[in-house]
Amino acid sequence: MTRFLLRRLLWFVITMFVVMSVSFVLMRSVPGGPFDQDRNVEPAIELNLKRKYHLDWPMWKQFLHYVGPLNLDERGMFGEGDRKGEKTFGGVLSGDFGPSFRYRDFTVNDIIGQSLPISALLGVIAMMWALSLGISTGIASALRRGTGLDLAMRLAATGGIALPNFVIAGFLIICFVFLIPLFPVAGWGSIRTMILPGFCLGLVFAAYISRLTRTGMLEALSQEHIRTAHAKGLSPRTVVMRHALKGGLLPVVSYLGPATAGILTGSLVIERIFFIPGTGSHFVNSANNRDYTLAMGVTILYTVLVYSLNLVVDLIYTLLDPRIALEDE
């Protein structure tokens, strides 16, 4: 276990360095800048803004200052001669993502702190939809193998995999907002506003989970210990729930890491469609506005979440199947 965790920690450091380096270079290689959209900005004012945020430095020096905490300039992040009591930029290693270039009254930490709980709640709702629909339909399909129910569920899962979430969202908005007005078209804050975007985001992953659950359950039901349980006279419900389900869910557990990553990235589109003030919406706005620090902060946040959740999935995998040893991976 210790060797496994240390190895994962080493790969985490390497992964974060690569992600930060590539993202930093790509953001500053895109045409345009964070101040190009300001109206009637005088060249001298634009130059002062670039000096304030150190955009006049060479790229390598900007990167070292962003990673920090390095005392590369006595002016600090906020410009020449920091005012008394004003906070200076400490660098990403100190947990400070710096000021936003567009929302100049807020830091990136402030924006993420306000929007992340909303995105997390949306992700939890989507995952609840995905797990409940995917596991239940997958089990039913495996137990009714070869029947019309099995065929219908497999066709529905294939359609869910083939259709992107924004297509599903548009179709459901037409059906349940305009034709049958059950849900509001946009917004956030009440239960009615959470159901439809969570369902749209989780439906695609429910299709994958359904297929994986069906495959895992069919394999588990063919094992010798399952036949032995049937021979001992245990009820079909007991055999499925106590003996087959744990082994049948192993493929689903392996998929939870990538599924979480998909929900995080998929929420970017869903949040824009339903006007949800989550981290995904700010990420899209940061790309459009060339808000370097906000885009980098969200990218780093997503990388940490995905890596951490994949680690948790590996640990849960060993609990479900004790035959798997982490040190042997």
Q: What is the amino acid identity at position 88?
A: T
| Domains of the chain by residue range | 2-80+97-108, 110-321
Question: Please, which residues bridge with residue 107 across strands?
Answer: 99
| 316 neighbors 255 (Cβ within 8 angstroms) | no
**Average pLDDT of 198-203?**
91
DSSP state of 124: H
Q: Which residue has the higher pLDDT, 76 or 159?
A: 159
CB contact at 8 A, 296 and 23: yes
Phi–psi pair at 2, nearest 5 degrees: -65, -45
The torsion angles phi and psi of 265, rounded to 5 degrees, stand at -75, -35
Instruction: Give the tens place of pLDDT for each residue, 306-329.
Output: 888 878 877 776 776 666 655 544
The first and second tokens of residue 326, run together, are 């982490």
| Residues 97-135 pLDDT 10s | 888 888 878 888 899 888 888 888 898 999 999 999 999
What is the percent of the chain where pLDDT is above 70?
Answer: 84
Structure tokens at 254: 């392996």
In the three-class reduction of DSSP (H, G, I as helix; E, B as strand; rest coil), residue 269 is classed as: helix
CA distances 189 to 77, 176, 193, Å, are 36, 19, 7
Quote the CA–CA distance of 272 and 285 in Å, as a whole number.
10
Q: Give residue-wise pLDDT tens across range 206-240.
A: 999 999 988 888 888 777 777 777 677 777 777 77
Tell me the DSSP string of 14-79. Answer: HHHHHHHHHHHHHHHHSSS-TTTTSTT--HHHHHHHHHHTTTTS-HHHHHHHHH------TT-TT-
Predicted local confidence at residue 76, as pLDDT: 46
**Count of residues making up the chain:** 329
Q: Mean pLDDT for the chain?
A: 80
CA dist., res. 234 & res. 76, Å (int): 71
Residue 146 has pLDDT above 80, yes or no: yes
Report pLDDT digits (tens) over 18-47: 999 998 888 888 777 776 665 566 667 667
pLDDT at residue 326, as a whole number:
57
CB atoms inside a 10 Å sphere around CB 110: 14
Residue 107 in 3-state DSSP? strand
What is the reported pTM?
A: 0.75
Which CATH number fits the domain 110-321, given the four candidates 1.10.630.10, 1.10.287.610, 2.60.40.420, 1.10.3720.10?
A: 1.10.3720.10
Lowest mean pLDDT, pick from 29-33, 104-108, 167-171, 292-296: 29-33
What integer pLDDT is reported at residue 273 of this predicted model? Answer: 87
Least confident piece of the model among 5-14, 25-34, 259-268, 269-278 = 259-268
pLDDT at 131: 92
Tokens of 26: 């790509």
Give the pLDDT mean for 49-69: 76
